[in-house]
Chain A
Amino acid sequence: MNAENEHSDNQRDPTRRTFIEAAVLISGAAITTPVLEAQTEQALPGLRRFSLTINQVRHDLDLEPKVTLLDLLRERLQLTGTKKGCDHGQCGACTVIADGERIVSCLALAVCYEGVDIVTIEGLERGGQLHPMQAAFLEQDGFQCGFCTPGQICSAIAMLGEAKKGMPSAVAHSVSPAEPVELTEPEIRERMSGNICRCGAYPNIVAAIRATERS
């Protein structure tokens, strides 16, 4: 299945997002095709053919190795839920989940992730139902402008997975394996410090994470 087929499967209602995605798809095709499509393979030596699994869909790609996972998602696959904030690994807006672990997609070369299962904000819903973390962000008003939100949500989901595995933190009383992980507010804040929110919605982000953890 190619990216375009996958995209049309998801267009269930004419929301603002799908309108924007469709618009980007059209303009994106015009803009990105000369750079990325296989027809320029001759002009760009070192184009690489590989496949990536994103939100359980396999994508066969011809890409320059220098394309980051973030640029692939946004510019080529129209998965624009993942945001480009700083593009230097400092803000966390581009956080996605790779084999269950959160990473910053801006510092990841797409080509390095062949065989790795990538999940983005678009891949969290199940059968039209929001992921509990998405629902909790709505319920707890865990955002203002919303730009950092996809990264916050992906990060928070993976963070709960880390805590379940017993990952210690810099604010833990001790790093001893005997020390249980307790997700207090300072613990959540430390564990979410890779995601910056310029609106300062932190109290409600923490509340959304605590609500999800309890449920």
Chain B
Amino acid sequence: MNTFNYNQALTVDDALASVYAHPDAKYLGGGTNLIDLMKMGVEHPTALVDVTRLPLTRIEEYWGGLRLGAMARNSAVAIHALVRRRYPVLAQALLAGASPQIRNMATVAGNLLQRTRCYYFYDPSYRECNKRNPGSGCAALTGNNRIHSVLGGSDHCIATHPSDMAVALTALGATVQVKDANEERSIPIADFYRMPGNTPHIETSLKAEELITSVDLPAPPGGTAHYLKVRDRNSFAFALVSVAAIVELDDRKRIRSARVALGGVAPMPWRSLEAEQVLTGGEPTEATYRKAADILMQDAKPLRFNGFKVELARRGIVRALTTAAELN
């Protein structure tokens, strides 16, 4: 690991000033991804600004919804009574992610900003990685691409976003609150991540010095929810496919509203309003769910080793919607 300057910030202004003072500085949350990337030689910031002591750890009611402080630990969010009662899909997604030790360390903001676990990105002995080394190519396109994207990838990058939490936040329509020296702004989660295109090293719409201060959840949607995660082993593994499903039935047992977001299949959590419109007003049956699944996966471009994800995702969507609806 390279040497770096370390500053523990106690106020947001202090954190911003520290980052403005060092051109290659990075904010440090729980460190569960950034420290690992520094050990691997993927990241080499000249300065780390520890933001875990900022007064941004509260989880509180906010405009009919819930505000998750950016520095709240993943475990603190997962155990919180209001999260479990009103946004169970978020608690489920968090508990499906990582290990208990890592959930005790990782923060809300750090979870959003974690990097892909693409083998070729993570290992600098591969020169080709457009995320790590812009313009160098993508080793995964012709390499072992079993865990990679079937949706939203480009000729420059096919990495997936690894977060489970972000998939639930996408289904819930969260917004990300950020601040720099000039302004505070809200970024809807749907606009937070960027498609790789020909600039896969730019992963979010954050500006260089911007600090995430909270993630805000709107009032909870009606209905019941389920988070399904399919992976190579039953626990402590990244998703091959994950599905956050929320279904609300009306008095006649038809679908009043539904939301579906996918993880493990794309460079960002994947949601299709068209698929959700197909569900709305439909019977809560496998045929209806299958129609939505077909729409969600209609643009899938499988590669040599990840074709299995297309049908796995379709079946996962059907199963997650079925499970969610049965809880109504």
| Closest Cβ–Cβ distance, residue B272 to chain A (whole Å) | 26
Binary contact track A152-183/B, C-beta < 8 Å → 1, others 0: 00010011001001111110101111000000
Tell me which of A65, A102, A107 contacts B4 (CB under 8 A): A65
Q: Is there contact, CB below 8 Å, between B6 and A65?
A: yes
Question: Known: A88-B36, A175-B92. Contact between A193 and B236, CB under 8 A?
Answer: yes
Q: Chain A interface: which size bin?
A: 35 or more
Question: Known: A176-B85, A193-B235. Contact between A170 and B95, CB under 8 A?
Answer: yes
Q: Is there contact, CB below 8 Å, between A159 and B100?
A: yes
Q: Is there contact, CB below 8 Å, between B3 and A46?
A: yes
Q: Is there contact, CB below 8 Å, between B100 and A111?
A: no
Q: Which residues of B contact A189 (CB under 8 A)?
A: 235
Q: Is there contact, CB below 8 Å, between B92 and A108?
A: no
Chain A minimum-CB-distance residue to B38: A66
> B63-71, B76-84, B130-138, B302-310: which one contacts chain A?
B76-84
Tell me which of B36, B39, B50, B78 contacts A167 (CB under 8 A): B78
Question: Known: A92-B99, A107-B105. Contact between A194 and B36, CB under 8 A?
Answer: no
| Closest Cβ–Cβ distance, residue B63 to chain A (whole Å) | 23
Tell me which of B31, B98, B102, B104 contacts A112 (CB under 8 A): B31
Q: Is there contact, CB below 8 Å, between B92 and A177?
A: no
Q: Is there contact, CB below 8 Å, between B78 and A46?
A: no
Q: Chain B interface: which size bin?
A: 35 or more
A123 interface contact, C-beta 8 A:
no
Q: Which residues of B contact A168 (CB under 8 A)?
A: 78-79, 84, 91, 95
Question: Known: A65-B6, A102-B104, A193-B235. Contact between A176 and B84, CB under 8 A?
Answer: yes
A206 interface contact, C-beta 8 A:
no
Q: Is there contact, CB below 8 Å, between A177 and B104?
A: no
B297 interface contact, C-beta 8 A:
no
**Distance between Cα atoms of A159 and B4 in the complex (Å):** 34
B52 interface contact, C-beta 8 A:
yes
B96 interface contact, C-beta 8 A:
yes
Q: Is there contact, CB below 8 Å, between A68 and B75?
A: no
Q: Is there contact, CB below 8 Å, between B84 and A193?
A: no
Binary contact track A131-157/B, C-beta < 8 Å → 1, others 0: 000000000000000000000000100
Q: Which residues of A contact B101 (CB under 8 A)?
A: 89, 92, 95, 102-104, 155, 194
In A58-109, which residues have CB < 8 Å from any B CB?
64-66, 68, 87-90, 92, 95, 98, 101-104, 107-109
Q: Which residues of B contact A48 (CB under 8 A)?
A: 6
Tell me which of B4, B104, B229 contacts A66 (CB under 8 A): B4
A44 interface contact, C-beta 8 A:
yes
**Distance between Cα atoms of A66 and B95 in the complex (Å):** 29
Chain B minimum-CB-distance residue to A179: B84
| Closest Cβ–Cβ distance, residue A63 to chain B (whole Å) | 10
Chain A minimum-CB-distance residue to B29: A112
In B103-121, which residues have CB < 8 Å from any A CB?
104-105
In B284-326, which residues have CB < 8 Å from any A CB?
none
List 7 A-B pairs, minimum CB-CB distance, nearest first: A194-B99, A65-B6, A193-B235, A175-B91, A170-B95, A193-B236, A101-B104
Given contacts A64-B3, A107-B32, 15 further A-B contacts (CB under 8 A): A87-B39, A89-B32, A89-B36, A92-B99, A102-B100, A102-B101, A104-B105, A107-B36, A108-B105, A109-B28, A159-B100, A162-B79, A168-B79, A177-B84, A194-B100
Q: Which A residues lie at the B interface, using CB under 8 A?
A: 44, 46, 48, 64-66, 68, 87-90, 92, 95, 98, 101-104, 107-109, 111-112, 114, 155, 158-159, 162, 165-170, 172, 174-177, 189-191, 193-194
